[in-house]
Structure 1
């Protein structure tokens, strides 16, 4: 179920958006929840308490704090939310994309444009969800693209997610639970109780360690080398990767 939020100080706009969303849900048979906010402060307070939304329709011109500034604060907690700005003027269009806006929608919002926009953003959300992992890290709520996850290690109760670009995210959790969650994808190998490896990043395997493309080395327990090599070769052959002998 995807979560949507509307934030606008104009009650009439909120009412119109609610009607459009109800009609969209009925015609498209979509399971969506919606939360309404009348001010940026209400919205930010909810996000600071841990509430998260997949899609946010955010008015730009509101009393107290405009939508651009609100979006900047939201990005401190959540880099994945699809933010759609609402405004009656195109003057903020360039600024809107500096905070990772998904779209810039001029008012009034007509049914045809709303439906087209919802079709697009829901397709993007579904695509992102199917190949990603959401975690609560020090940076806030973070969605990790699984193709970019090189390996994960656990120290105590802290999981360290190492991405191919060198970034590392920390989150509290269990490697056992993470492995069960990622197992259906088929490309994650657990060579050691403290490590989980994306086999797409393996450079070579020796009897002592797995060397990854980043040159990180994952230790292999004594006697496990053959088993790990066989699992990797099976994965590689299924992916139709080429081997030279």
Structure 2
């Protein structure tokens, strides 16, 4: 199931984008799409806060109160990695949009062909992110671990206890440095001292002494680790290098 949100204050443009989505779904029967529509950024944000996020966000830029750029900036600061496709009548914000890691920037009026090209790119990026994995060997056998399932690893003597989002803990005999080397090509993984390797995508809150994860687990930090972690987390959230 791919969850799609369309946000546009112009009712006709909103209906047009929804129609393009339905046509796309008819032409791509292998993908199950769930489409939600919103006429302002506030109602979209309320839905995300109260219920759940979206995989793909189709969004106008010029909207009252909160612009599409403002909303995208806010979502990225919260580490929301949804694929964003801007639908707009102006070229003026293209550079700003892509600095927010937008998937595409469609100028109105756009064709079904252009719309489908943008959607196919978004789906391909979703698939790459969800299917990335690495392989480890333990005394229990071979484990293929999706990056998206990795929560954090904690060093215990000569073992790495790898915590997954479903509550599973795998104990692997290897060093923290060796595990981090396997993961370091992906920007979401951060080695915090000699104790933790943390999936930055799963962080909900960082304080001077604690990291709170999406699972509500608390990891305890040394005060000196805070500055480096918060800088790295901010870079990741804003898609900086």
Whether these two folds match at TM > 0.5 is yes
Distance 1:36 1:151, change over 3 A: closer
- Say what the alpha-carbon RMSD is for the aligned residues: 3.9
What SS does the corresponding residue of 2:105 show, helix, strand or coil?
strand
Superposition pairs of residues 1-245 of structure 1, within 5 angstroms: 1-29=1-29, 30-131=31-132, 146=147, 152-153=153-154, 174-176=167-169, 179=170, 190-191=171-172, 201=180, 216=194
Alpha-carbon distance, 1:45 to partner: 1.1
Alpha-carbon distance, 1:113 to partner: 0.4
Any stretches of 5+ residues in structure 1 without a counterpart?
134-143, 163-170, 180-189, 204-212, 219-245
Counterpart CA distance in 1 for 2:56 and 2:72 is: 12
TM-score using structure 1 length: 0.59
Counterpart CA distance in 1 for 2:178 and 2:93 is: 44
What SS does the corresponding residue of 1:53 show, helix, strand or coil?
coil
Alignment: residue pair count? 172
Distance 1:61 1:161, change over 3 A: farther
Q: Deviations over 1:144-167 (max 9, x none)?
A: 9839x7961399xxxx989xxxxx
Moved over 4 A (4+): 195-203
Q: Is the 8 A contact 1:7 1:59 kept in 2?
A: yes
Any stretches of 5+ residues in structure 2 without a counterpart?
135-144, 183-190, 197-241
